[in-house]
Amino acid sequence: MKKIFAAILAMTVLMTACSSGTSSAPASSASVSSAAASSGSAAAEPAAEKIKIGLVQMMEHPSLDEIREAILAELAVQGYDDSKVEIDYQNGQGDMNNLNTIAQKFVGDEVDMIIAIATPAAQSAAAATDSIPIIFSAVTDPVDAGLVADLSAPDRNLTGTSDAIAVEEIFALADRLTPGIQTYGLLYNNGESNSVSVIREVKAALEAAGIAYEEATVVNSSEVTTAAQSLVGKVDAIFSPIDNTVAYAMPNLAQIAIEAKLPVYVAADSMVNDGGLATVGVNYTQLGKQTAQMAAEVLSGKPVSEVPVQVLSEYATVINADTAAAIGLDTALVDEILSGSAAA
C-alpha cells in the first residue's frame, strides 16, 4: 500500500510537467476517451448484451500504443470483435489521479473486465476492485508491483504479461559495443516500482563486476534533462530501465547524451528509436497479442487463478545506428553485432 502511494505521489506531477513542456497533449480532464464507447448503445439495442471491457493505458507513448493496437487486433482474432464487445478506452495521460478516476469509472460502469497497460495503470485498477478480472500488460515486475504474489499462481483478480528486463544481456551488449565503462549513470523515477526493482538488480550486477555507478532520480518527465546533465562528466555511460517517466522524455535525454558522446543503454526498443543507443528488449506487438489471448481465456470462463502470468522470453538486440555514429562508435562493429545478434 505504501509503495502504491509513493507511486501515486510521484506520477501525479508527470503530466503537469508534460503539458507545459511540449505543445501537444491537450491538458483536458480525466475522460479523454475513444469513440468506441458509444457505438453499441443506443442504435443496436436489441442484440445480445455486449461484453464490456475497460481498457486503460498509462500515457501516450509509442510502446504503449503498440501494445494497445496489438491487444485490440488479437481480441478480434479471438472472436471478441465489435459485434461482441464494447471497449471503453481511456488514457491516463501520465497522471495517477486520472488513472484512479478511470479505474473507479470502470467499476461504476460494472465492466466485465479491465485491461491495464503499464504498471501504474494496473496498480490503480487493482486498488479499485478485487472482483472484476484485471488483465495487465507490460508490467515489468508484477510481484514487486504488488499485483500477484506468485507469477505462476495469481492469487487475486489479476493476471497478465510482463516485459521483464534482460539485465545481463543488456550489460553484455554494452561490454561489446562500448568496452571499458568504469562508471554507469542510473537514471530513473524511484516512484515507479517497475524501475526500482530493476535498478536493485542492476546495482547488484555492477557491484559484482566491480563497476561503479552514480544515481540520478527524477519524479517527473521535466526533470529528465537536468538529471541527465548532472551525470555528464561523472559517468562513462547511462542506463535507464523501462521507466514511463524517463521514456516520455527520451528525446531530451538522447540529445544531452549525444552532445556529451555518452552511450545510453535502455530497456525498451521505443527508447532506442527515440535516440537511445541500444537495448536487448522484448517485442511489444507480441506482448500485446499474448495479453489479448489471456483476456480471451478469462472471457471464455477460465478463472484468473488458472491463467499464470506470462513473462516474455524472446529478446532482440536493437541498436540506433544514427546515435552510434553520432557518438563516434565504429559502424563495422555495430553491423557485426546486429548481424550476429540472432545467435547471441
- Distance, in Å, from the CA atom of 243 to the CA atom of 198, rounded to the nearest integer, reads 10
Nearer to ligand TRP, 242 or 299 (CB): 242
Minimum CB distance to ligand TRP, residue 216 (Å): 17
Nearer to ligand TRP, 178 or 194 (CB): 194
Nearer to ligand TRP, 5 or 79 (CB): 5
Look at residues 174, 203, 187 and name the one whose alpha carbon lies nearest to residue 280. 174
Minimum CB distance to ligand TRP, residue 140 (Å): 4
Minimum CB distance to ligand TRP, residue 222 (Å): 16
**How far is CA 331 from its chain centroid?**
30
Which residue ranges make up the site for ligand TRP (CB under 6 A)? 61, 63, 118-119, 138-140, 163, 194, 242, 244, 247, 268, 270-271
Nearer to ligand TRP, 181 or 186 (CB): 186
Minimum CB distance to ligand TRP, residue 26 (Å): 21
DSSP state of 1: -
- Distance, in Å, from the CA atom of 11 to the CA atom of 237, rounded to the nearest integer, reads 26
Minimum CB distance to ligand TRP, residue 119 (Å): 3
Cell of 101: 478516476
Coil/strand/helix, residue 120: helix
Report the side by side order of strands in the sheet with 278-281.
Answer: 212-218, 183-189, 237-239, 264-265, 278-281, 316-319
- Distance, in Å, from the CA atom of 247 to the CA atom of 240, rounded to the nearest integer, reads 9
Nearer to ligand TRP, 75 or 117 (CB): 117
